[in-house]
Amino acid sequence: MPEIDGSYLVAKTLKDEGAECLFYLMGGPNYEIINNSEDFGIKTYDFRHEQAAAMSAHAYTRVTGKPGVTTAASGPGTLNLLTGQYNAFVDCAPMITLGGAGPLKDFYRGGFQEIDQLSIFEKVSKATFRPTSAKQYPQIVSHAFRIATSGRPGPVYIDCNEDVLYEKVSEKNLNQPTRSSEKSSPIGDPELISKSINLLKKANAPIILAGGGTFWSDSSSELKQLVDNSGIPFYTTPMTRGIVSDDHPFSYPAARSSAFRETDFVLVLGTRFNWIMTYGNRINPDAKIIQVDIFEEEIAHNREVTLGIVGDCKNVINQLNEELLKQNIKSNQWETWRNNLSKLEKSRLEKVKPLEESSQSPIHPLRLCKELREVMDPSSIISIDGNEILHYGRQSIPCYKPGHSINSGPTGCMGVGLPYAIGAKIAKPNNQVFSLHGDGSLGMNIQDFDTAVRHNLPIVIVVSNNEGWTARVEGIRKPGRELGFTRFDLIAESMGGYGELVEKPEEIKPAIERAINSNLPSIVNVHTDPTARAISKFVGSKME
Rounded alpha-carbon distances, angstroms, from residue 519 to 45, 213, 501: 19, 36, 18
How far apart are alpha carbons 288 and 14 in whole angstroms? 45
* Sheet strands (E) in 314-449: 381-385, 405-407, 433-438
Residue 97, pLDDT > 60, answer: yes
How far apart are alpha carbons 33 and 10 in whole angstroms? 7
Residues 120 and 199 in one domain: no
Strand pairing category for 433-438 and 381-385: parallel
Torsion of CA 197, 200, 202, 205, to 10 degrees: -170
- Segment 409-461, tens digit of pLDDT: 888 889 999 999 999 999 999 999 999 999 999 999 999 999 999 999 999 99
- Predicted pLDDT at 538: 35
Residues 258/81, Cβ–Cβ less than 8 Å:
no
How large is the average pLDDT for residues 149-174? 93
Tell me the CATH number at 202. Answer: 3.40.50.1220
Within a domain: 350:
no
Task: Give the rounded distance of the alpha carbon of 357 from its chain centre.
Answer: 30
How far apart are alpha carbons 478 and 469 in whole angstroms? 9
Closest Cα to residue 314, out of 291, 290, 292, 288?
A: 292
Cis? peptide before 190, omega within 30° of 0: no
* Sheet strands (E) in 198-287: 206-210, 234-236, 265-269
Rounded alpha-carbon distances, angstroms, from residue 44 to 36, 58, 71, 140, 426: 11, 15, 11, 22, 10
Residue after which a domain boundary falls, among 318, 343, 368? 343
Could you tell me the pLDDT band of residue 541, with boundaries at 50, 70 and 90? very low
Q: What is the DSSP letter of 270?
A: S
φ, ψ at 435 (rounded to 5°):
-130, 115
- Segment 202-245, tens digit of pLDDT: 999 999 999 999 999 999 999 999 999 999 999 999 889 999 99
Tell me the CATH number at 497. Answer: 3.40.50.970
Residue after which a domain boundary falls, among 115, 144, 173? 173
The amino acid that residue 155 corresponds to is P
Q: Is the pTM of this model over 0.85?
A: yes
CB half-sphere exposure, 400, CA atoms < 13 A: 8
- Segment 167-178, tens digit of pLDDT: 999 888 787 888
- Segment 30-75, tens digit of pLDDT: 999 999 999 999 999 999 999 999 999 999 999 999 999 999 999 9
Residues 104/132, Cβ–Cβ less than 8 Å:
yes
Residues 444 and 397 in one domain: yes
CB half-sphere exposure, 159, CA atoms < 13 A: 24
- Segment 448-470, tens digit of pLDDT: 999 999 999 999 999 999 999 98
Could you tell me the pLDDT band of residue 540, with boundaries at 50, 70 and 90? very low
Residues 91 and 232 in one domain: no
Q: Which residues contact 360 (CB under 8 A, 6 or more apart)?
A: 367, 505, 529
**Neighbouring C-beta atoms of residue 537, cutoff 10 Å:** 8
Bridge partners of 416?
none
Domain count within the chain = 3
Residues 410 and 382 in one domain: yes
Could you tell me the pLDDT band of residue 262, with boundaries at 50, 70 and 90? very high
Sign of CA pseudo-dihedral 127, 133, 134, 139: negative
The whole-chain average pLDDT of the chain stands at 93
- Segment 103-131, tens digit of pLDDT: 988 888 887 788 899 999 999 999 999 99
- Predicted pLDDT at 539: 36
Within a domain: 215:
yes
To the nearest whole percent, how much of the chain has pLDDT over 70?
98
Residue 536, pLDDT > 80, answer: no
Within a domain: 351:
no
- Predicted pLDDT at 537: 40
Residues 456 and 479 in one domain: yes
- Predicted pLDDT at 176: 85
Q: Which of 121-135, 168-182, 508-522 has the lowest mean pLDDT?
A: 168-182
Query: Could you list the residue range(s) of the whole structural domain that residue 8 is in?
Result: 3-173
Within a domain: 539:
no
